[in-house]
Amino acid sequence: MIKRTKEEEALLGFRSLYHGYGYKRYKMSTFEEYDLYVANKRFLGGDNIVTFSDAGGRLMALRPDVTLSIVKNAVTGADGLEKLYYHETVYRSVGGALKEIPQVGLECIGQLDGYAMGEVVLLAARSLALVDENYLLTLSHMGIVSALLDEAIPADAHPDTRERLLTCIGEKNPHGLRALCGGCGISAESAERLAALMQLGGSFAEALEVLRGLCLSEAAAQGLRELEEIAGMLALHDCASRLRLDFSLVNDLQYYNGVIFKGYLRQLPTELLSGGRYDRLAQRFGRDGGAIGFAINLGLLERLGGEENEYDVDLLLTYAPECTPMAVAEAVRALSADGRSVRVQPMGAPLGLKYRARMNLSERGLEVNA
């Protein structure tokens, strides 16, 4: 049989997994008005938008992101919660060249509770496991990061202090963090708490134990409870051993307010999956409740290699001019009954194919081509 590629196998698995949890397929336009994206450049992580003018003179953009389109256009169901998955291509300008990035992912939008949030993280873990069971899912929580920053930063600090501290945390730069805290009037105790948060490591259980000593405010404690609930849900599905806490994983606080995560495989140089809770983005579009989701870069799966198909087709069937269409059709039905792929073409036609076997159909009947 012709083998499916790694990407094809994974995509079939993703669709089955998401359908199994009641997520509906969402399809969208290839482009949106440019204003949607230019107003949310920080969420996109840069100005890499490909634009064009439509027939009416409106400035449009090839879709650089799926989440923005879904949050803007999806209709929340009667139960106040919408669960959607997608398989789309996004388009970005990279070094002046147009790059197409195939993605699959899902979004859960509306009245989120602890289960809905944990379910999305669970689906992220199970998606990674479909590709390789030796995955790693790293988690952080912007609510905890924000709470510790609120505790540390004096009211009279410079407006950009929070952004600069976030940069140090994201770079895992404890020396720079302590120096910045000292220059901004942040106490040594608060600086050490931030440094300890940034450098959490070890198993998920060990890191949670350390984290409990850092979460002093109710806001931070709420984030801790969410992480503990997520860990408990994933443990039910034997996924807990693949979790790690990493608070150097940070996102823009203008959009993200809860758990964020990235998924890795050992064979890939960068994350395969990324996601998180982005209530503040949903609120920018006037939505009540929250939103959480993730995206998988299908293009990276090509790097995993795997077995390539040795043949283009299992069986090549050629037929003589005197054969009727019905005779050819009957031969194809018989030859493909066991699941083999069959390529049909007239005798003498150019081939250029790799095939496992070849048969000829003529007035004498079916014959194996030696």
In tens, the pLDDT along 19-52 reads: 999 999 998 877 777 777 777 777 776 667 777 7
Q: How confident is the model at residue 3 (pLDDT cuts 50, 70, 90)?
A: low
Q: Higher confidence at residue 164 or residue 97?
A: 164
CA-closest candidate to residue 233, choices 126, 82, 83, 111: 126
Mean pLDDT of 144-149: 95
Residue 350 above 70 pLDDT? no
Q: How confident is the model at residue 260 (pLDDT cuts 50, 70, 90)?
A: very high
344: left (phi over 0), alpha (psi -120 to 50) or beta: beta
Q: Higher confidence at residue 341 or residue 310?
A: 341
The 10s digit of each residue's pLDDT in 161-196 is: 999 999 999 999 999 999 999 999 999 999 999 999
Distance CA 65, CA 309 (A): 33
Ranges of H-type helices in the chain = 6-20, 34-38, 41-44, 67-73, 114-131, 142-152, 161-170, 174-183, 188-198, 204-212, 218-236, 279-284, 325-335
Mean pLDDT of 260-284: 92
DSSP 74: P
Identify the pLDDT of residue 77.
57
Mean pLDDT of 89-110: 86
Identify the pLDDT of residue 308.
55
Separation in Å, CA 183 to CA 94, 165, 359? 37, 12, 81
Domains and CATH numbers, the chain: 1-134+266-309 (3.30.930.10), 313-368 (3.40.50)
Residue 216 CB contacts under 8 Å (≥ 6 apart), including other chains: 151
Residue 156 above 90 pLDDT? no
Q: How confident is the model at residue 369 (pLDDT cuts 50, 70, 90)?
A: confident
Residue 238 above 80 pLDDT? yes
Q: Which helix (H) or strand (E) holds 136?
A: strand 135-141
CA-closest candidate to residue 42, choices 233, 214, 284: 284
Identify the pLDDT of residue 176.
94
Q: How confident is the model at residue 305 (pLDDT cuts 50, 70, 90)?
A: low
Identify the pLDDT of residue 78.
54
Secondary structure class of 190 (helix, strand, coil): helix
CA-closest candidate to residue 125, choices 1, 244, 268: 244
Distance CA 60, CA 69 (A): 13
